[in-house]
Amino acid sequence: MNYGNLFKIALKALKNNRMRTFLTMLGIVIGVAAVIAMLAIGTGSKQSIRNEIGSMGTNVIMVMPGNGQFGGVRQSASSMQTLKMSDYNSLKNETSYLAKISPVVNASGQCIYSNENTPTSIYGVNQDYLDIHSYSVQTGTMFTDEDIKTSAKVCVIGKTVVDNIFKKGEDPIGKVIRFNSIPFKIIGVLASKGSNSMGMDQDDLLIAPYTTVQKRILAITYLNGIHASAIAEEYSDQAISEITKILQINHDIQIGQENDFNVRSQQEMLKTMSSVMDMLTVLLGCVAGISLIVGGIGIMNIMYVSVTERTREIGLRMAIGAKGRYILVQFLIEAIIISVLGGVIGVVLGIAAAKVVSMLGTPTSVSAFSIILSFLVCVFTGIFFGWYPAKKASKLNPIDAIRYE
């Protein structure tokens, strides 16, 4: 069997029907390009979310009040008062897997300066909070231990708050603003972080000593939460286990009882978001893969037409000695040429489409895996859908084929 001659015959047959070959190939081109572009969008979005969560600190651990029952009525976490300063002190002094830890109390309200105001949130924390959540002071300074001890009315504000209430371009450092009715002196401005993966503005906040927010704004002695960071990302699970054990002892929680607190890490959020994005990427790939199936059906249809049109040619070739397997290979080569050329063009268009989408603002990431996968599926599609018509051609009876009109 001379495969070189069979390849030339197949190529000549495709050249004789250029428009039909192109239209058949178009289905494969669109399918491959769609698969690559969709997988690039899914992978790019996943990577973007990972980067954004990573910017908030992948080793961040948050302890929040849990649900509880009092008098047979289940309370919401926001109304629970289960976290105390004693819990913070225990975690600070007894844990070995935490690098930084901060108590957290927060409130929403109106920030006012002169005749300007804006709704925002104030977070009562200590100095470790900046390192835990990857904030930094751009201008001015952070409050001190003495400010915490004296419940000083000082604060560090985010860029969004600055833009909303200092519209004339004044330097906010040293200015006195009011949060609800409480005056605060601005001692620092945070470097901008932008929005997180959930679309929340990370610059729309005030940071003040937790004692100040507890006493002067909320009038409470308990905590809304405790935020910490593990000494390294790989120790997050050990840190969570350690925190859980310490708090269970502090709260006298027996084996089998429900915890009155929740411990969550950014890694859990990262795993959840990654899982969701993986499912979305697979869904996008499957939807785009339908185009490949349609393209494969197009190949099968055209190969059927080609076999029908060339029935007499097949009969003559078989009558002068061509074996059935030669006919099979010839038509199979035609299907493979269509799918491979379509695949190559589709890969180029898919990469180009991903770049265009990226330029429009949607994150994309073209991986070698998506290119190889789509190309292999494309070749398989050509072989799979080209096999049956080719097999039909190889089984024709030479006498009947020659008489075919």
Domain ranges of the chain: 3-52+272-403, 103-229
Highest mean pLDDT among 24-38, 260-274, 318-332: 24-38
**What pLDDT, on a 0 to 100 scale, did the predictor assign at position 390?**
72
- What percentage of the chain carries pLDDT values higher than 70? 83
**What pLDDT, on a 0 to 100 scale, did the predictor assign at position 277?**
72
Q: How confident is the model at residue 362 (pLDDT cuts 50, 70, 90)?
A: confident
Q: How confident is the model at residue 232 (pLDDT cuts 50, 70, 90)?
A: confident
**Residue 52, pLDDT above cutoff 60:** yes
Q: Does the predicted TM-score (pTM) go above 0.75?
A: no
Under DSSP, the state recorded for 73 is E
CB 338 within 8 A of CB 25: yes
For 109-123, the pLDDT digits (tens) are 999 998 899 999 999
Question: Where is 163: in which H helix or E strand?
Answer: helix 159-165
Residue bearing the bigger pLDDT, 113 or 197? 113
**Residue 30, pLDDT above cutoff 70:** yes
**What pLDDT, on a 0 to 100 scale, did the predictor assign at position 72?**
45
CB 174 within 8 A of CB 233: no
**What pLDDT, on a 0 to 100 scale, did the predictor assign at position 343?**
85
Q: How confident is the model at residue 173 (pLDDT cuts 50, 70, 90)?
A: very high
Mean pLDDT for 376-405 is: 70
Cα gap 307→395, rounded to integer Å: 11
**What pLDDT, on a 0 to 100 scale, did the predictor assign at position 325?**
73
Question: Where is 318: in which H helix or E strand?
Answer: helix 311-319
**Chain center to CA of 177:** 39
Mean pLDDT for 260-267 is: 81
**What pLDDT, on a 0 to 100 scale, did the predictor assign at position 268?**
64
- CA dihedral over 283, 287, 289, 293, signed as positive or negative: positive
**Residue 70, pLDDT above cutoff 50:** no
**What pLDDT, on a 0 to 100 scale, did the predictor assign at position 71?**
44
**Residue 185, pLDDT above cutoff 90:** yes
CA within 13 Å, CB half, 190: 26
Cα gap 270→303, rounded to integer Å: 48
For 264-280, the pLDDT digits (tens) are 877 666 666 667 777 77
For 132-145, the pLDDT digits (tens) are 888 999 999 999 99
Q: How confident is the model at residue 68 (pLDDT cuts 50, 70, 90)?
A: low
Mean pLDDT of the chain: 82
Query: For residue 119, what are the CA distances in angstroms to 122, 176, 178, 180?
Result: 10, 17, 12, 10
Q: Which residues lie across from 154 on neighbouring strands?
A: 185
